[in-house]
């Protein structure tokens, strides 16, 4: 059994540093979800338009993110943006860009699904009652759309938080990287530290993601058929 190892987590500022690293992860996911949602709403609306060409392009955009692993997109962005644009883009900015574009594609699909699954008679019944179009959106369409979108969107958020762990591979200093630094520094004094540090990071991710997926499940139960 591992002896004398767990204290590495509480030595010096290690604990705070790891939490700070987690915060970088959360910050990247949070920003990406916000930007992705805004772009995704536009994209979802565009995908309900009649134009065949527009639909095809947006569909290809979505499939590109579904078929090619996100890590590949991170590599592509990491290795090509800075030289291509002749400016220095940080790993963090690259990550936010890639995750936002991915989020936009997925949220776009969720929005499209919600819009298309809305029964036509809901609008017609509203109009028959004499609701103005503002009221129609306010009382009928938006509440139903949100119900249909929320479980999927929260699920996406969980996936994003998990996937942001990959940004360490393009050199962003987040929780995994800080863990590695702590392990390397203490390699002589605490040779078992990798067990505890990675175990702790494992639990940290769980503590962030579990409430999110519970929330998503609850909404699904509450509003599902």
Partner 1 sequence: MNLDWDFMIESLPLYGDAMWLTVRLAFISILFSLMIGLLFSLVLFYKVKGISGAIRAYVELSRNTPLLVQLFFLYYGLPKVGLQMSEFTCAIVGMTFLGGSYMTEAFRSGIEAVGQSQLESGLSIGLSKIQLARYVILPQALAISIPSLGANAIFLLKETSIVGAIALMDLMNVAKDLIGMHYKTAESLLLLVLAYLLLVLPLSLLLSWVERKVRHAEFGN
Kindly tell me which of 145 and 216 has the beta carbon lying closer to partner 1: 216
The interface with partner 1 within residues 126-165 (CB under 8 A) comprises 158, 162-163, 165
Q: How far is the CB of 27 from partner 1 (least distance, A)?
A: 16
Q: Residue 93 CB, nearest distance to partner 1 (Å)?
A: 19
Where do the H-state alpha helices sit in the chain?
14-47, 52-67, 70-85, 91-116, 120-128, 133-135, 142-163, 175-185, 193-223
Q: Is there binding between residue 195 and partner 1 (CB under 8 A)?
A: yes
CA-to-CA distance for 116 and 109, rounded, in angstroms? 10
67 binds partner 1 (CB under 8 A): yes
What three-state secondary structure class fits 90? coil
**69 lines the binding site for partner 1 (CB under 8 A):** yes
Burial class (CB in 10 A: 0-12, 13-18, 19+), 213: middle
> What residues make contact with partner 1 under the rule CB under 8 A?
1-2, 5, 63, 66-69, 71-72, 75-76, 79-80, 83, 158, 162-163, 165-166, 168-169, 176, 183, 191-192, 194-199, 201-202, 205-206, 209-210, 213
């Amino acid at each position: 059994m591992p002896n004398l190892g767990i204290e590495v987590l509480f030595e010096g500022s290690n604990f705070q540093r790891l939490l700070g690293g987690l915060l970088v992860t959360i910050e990247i996911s949070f920003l990406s979800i916000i930007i992705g949602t805004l772009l995704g709403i536009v994209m979802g609306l565009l995908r309900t338009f009649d134009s065949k060409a527009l639909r095809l392009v947006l569909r290809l955009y979505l499939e590109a993110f579904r078929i090619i692993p996100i890590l590949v997109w991170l590599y592509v962005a990491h290795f090509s943006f800075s030289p291509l644009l002749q400016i220095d883009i940080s790993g963090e900015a690259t990550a936010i860009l890639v995750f936002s574009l991915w989020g936009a594609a997925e949220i776009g699909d969720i929005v499209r699904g919600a819009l298309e699954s809305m029964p036509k008679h809901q609008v017609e019944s509203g109009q028959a009652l004499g609701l103005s179009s503002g009221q129609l959106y306010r009382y009928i369409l938006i509440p139903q759309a949100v119900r249909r979108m929320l479980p999927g969107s929260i699920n996406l958020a969980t996936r994003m938080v998990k996937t942001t762990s990959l940004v360490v591979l393009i050199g962003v200093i987040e929780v995994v990287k800080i863990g590695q630094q702590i392990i390397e520094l203490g390699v002589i004094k605490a040779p078992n530290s990798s067990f505890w540090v990675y175990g702790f990071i494992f639990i940290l991710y769980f503590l962030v993601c579990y409430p999110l997926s519970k929330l998503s499940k609850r909404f699904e139960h509450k509003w599902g058929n």
